[in-house]
Chain A
Amino acid sequence: MKKHNSLIAVALLAAGSFGSTQALALDGAALYKSKTCIACHGADAKTPIMPNYPKIAGQNAAYAIQQMQDIKSGARANGLSAAMKGVMHLVSDEEIKAIAEWLETL
């Protein structure tokens, strides 16, 4: 799976615009890894790197989508969300949805 990182990066660059391209099939599990979520929230989405970071496996998709969008836009802002905000420009609305739907199934 790690391979996907660079492949996706290359594909996105070829497409010219980051975060908004639809060139790829939206596989929530693959996106979860390639968009760096795995680094902070853990491979199973319930072993976060820090004890004050949330477990997100099994979360309701609608709730998770809202939180991700709020962290991305800055509407949800505290000392902790700053960590995640730094990567959220890497995911589009469609990708957020795909990841959230996958998380809900865990």
Chain B
Amino acid sequence: MKSTKAKHPFIALAIGALLAAPALGDWNEGGGEQDEALHLTPDLENGMDVYEVCAACHLPEGWGMTEGTFPQLAGQHRAVLIKQMADIRAGNRDNPTMYPFALPKAIGDAQALADVVAYIEQLPMTPEWGKGPWPPGTLEYTKGEQLYKDNCVQCHSETGMGDVEKFYPRINGQHYNYMVRQFEWIRDGKRRNANPEMVEQIKNFSNDDMLHVINYITHVPVPADQLAESVDWKNPDFD
């Protein structure tokens, strides 16, 4: 994907931040609309209206596509959703396909952003997300499990739930291909809003390591009370 000229200053800034401060970095400067949206009381009814346009790609259920083009949004932490929207809008995370939908014109003001993410957060997750090819019992699974324990637990937690307070995304229940793509982009510096500590942690991961560790997390179960009762569940709000 090509980035537009207007984004180049951001690339420079992001690379500068990565080089200058690998341990701290300003991957999450916050401020402005991001903070505002985080502190507003959401209106779910309006959130549903705003979500309608998102549903064309992320599906009415918020489940995305198992093959990984569109991530599952359902169940993701509110703060993470808000940060990603703000980053995409600011040109800090390339997403040419979704870019127009992250603009204030499409979503509305900070209140509307708060509303739509609150709506998304309460959607039940798909019971059948895209899983990696190696089930428990395989050598690849075991390798991934060890890599996960050694490199990821401190931020994404034992179960892959991440950390709401720190803007660490949950990665359990997310589609395999989507996560492989993100991981690769984070490792190789293509996803500019990445957390510099994560970049440091994974910089020596080979492609196989990457596939194994992501495979592992896709086989970690998601708590049943966060899942829809069946893969055939349809979001009644959009009937």
Contact = CB atoms under 8 A, between A and B. Distances in A.
Given A2-B55, A49-B53, A83 B99 contact: yes
B234 A6 contact: yes
A38 B59 CA distance: 12
Interface of B: 1-2, 4, 53, 55-57, 59-61, 63, 65-67, 69, 96-97, 99-101, 106, 231, 234, 238-239
Contacts of A79: 2, 4
A49 B100 CA distance: 7
Contacts of B99: 83
B234 A33 contact: no
Closest 9 CB pairs between A and B? A86-B97, A39-B56, A82-B96, A79-B4, A83-B96, A50-B100, A2-B238, A2-B60, A36-B57
Contact of A83 (B56, B66, B97): B97
Contacts of A2: 55, 60, 238
Contact of A18 (B55, B67, B231, B238): B67
Contacts of A39: 53, 56-57, 101
A73 interface: no
A6 B100 contact: no
Interface residues of A, number: 27
Contact of B1 (A38, A86, A87): A86
A55 interface: no
Contacts of B55: 2, 5
Contacts of A9: 59, 65-67
Contact of B234 (A3, A50, A84, A90): A3
13 contacts: A6-B63, A9-B67, A13-B66, A18-B67, A33-B56, A36-B56, A39-B53, A49-B101, A77-B2, A82-B96, A83-B96, A83-B100, A87-B97
A30 interface: no
Contacts of B96: 82-83, 85-86
Nearest to B56: A39
A89 B2 contact: no
A10 interface: yes
A40 interface: yes
Given A49-B53, A83-B97, 9 more contacts: A3-B60, A3-B239, A6-B59, A6-B234, A9-B59, A36-B56, A83-B96, A83-B100, A87-B69
Contacts of B56: 5, 33, 36, 38-39
